[in-house]
Amino acid sequence: GAVVSQHPSWVICKSGTSVKIECRSLDFQATTMFWYRQFPKQSLMLMATSNEGSKATYEQGVEKDKFLINHASLTLSTLTVTSAHPEDSSFYICSARPPSGIMLEQYFGPGTRLTVT
Amino acid sequence: AQSVAQPEDQVNVAEGNPLTVKCTYSVSGNPYLFWYVQYPNRGLQFLLKYITGDNLVKGSYGFEAEFNKSQTSFHLKKPSALVSDSALYFCAVRASGGSYIPTFGRGTSLIVHP
């Protein structure tokens, strides 16, 4: 199946700093990428949907100025957590969806564990 | 609007026994249904999907799921559980038309006891 990578797999940062997480589709072009946040023992919370070359669409309640998403190419999307605070600590997962066709499922990255101290 | 219900937070089964993880959905029109599995500290892995055709769908690792339109269900099953099947399982649905963004259930933790 299709492969999606995320980098870094874990990061610890100090409160007030910014952190960038990369999501790459390795063997397919992803016109659409999704960013999720997952709290312990909870489901995925969709944060935003990004389409290559256009602005991301954020879900209600997600601060677009805090969680900056850039989808500059068909294989790369980035999530930048700006001025991170301890409450931003979470597991962030990206997923990518191939262009419309028979493959309708999403392919997920391995996730990034963010800890803000 | 579309929604998914996974009524069980946790399912316990003995190794070698059959397992079922339940999922019901609500969507306008025809559904596309998916099952994903998540191991600790990892992303989700695609298991199987129903798009159209045969109601019984076979997927990875011996898992299968049965689409039941009248009961709006898509339960995940496996004839003989393995300890290594212990993980978090997510059901997802999206409508065949309209928004392409799927809705995920809250997840069911499957624990297979030796």
Summarize pLDDT for A14-27 with one digit per residue, the tens. 999 999 999 999 98
Of the candidates A2, A19, A3, the one whose C-alpha atom is nearest the C-alpha of residue A114 is A19
Which of A41, A97, A109 lies at the smallest CB-CB distance from B43? A109
CB of A108 within 8 Å of a chain B CB? The answer is yes
Which of A85-89, A97-101, B44-48, B67-71 has the lowest average pLDDT? A97-101
Residue-wise pLDDT for B54-69, tens only, equals 999 999 999 999 999 9
- Which residue matches tokens 């980098």? A7
CA distance B1 to A44: 18
pLDDT at residue A98 above 90?
A: no
Which of A42, A97, A110 lies at the smallest CB-CB distance from B43? A110
CB of B61 within 8 Å of a chain A CB? The answer is no
Of the candidates A91, A93, A89, the one whose C-alpha atom is nearest the C-alpha of residue A115 is A89
Q: Which residue on chain B is closest to A1 by alpha carbon? A: B46
Q: Which chain B residues touch A6 with a CB distance below 8 Å?
A: 43
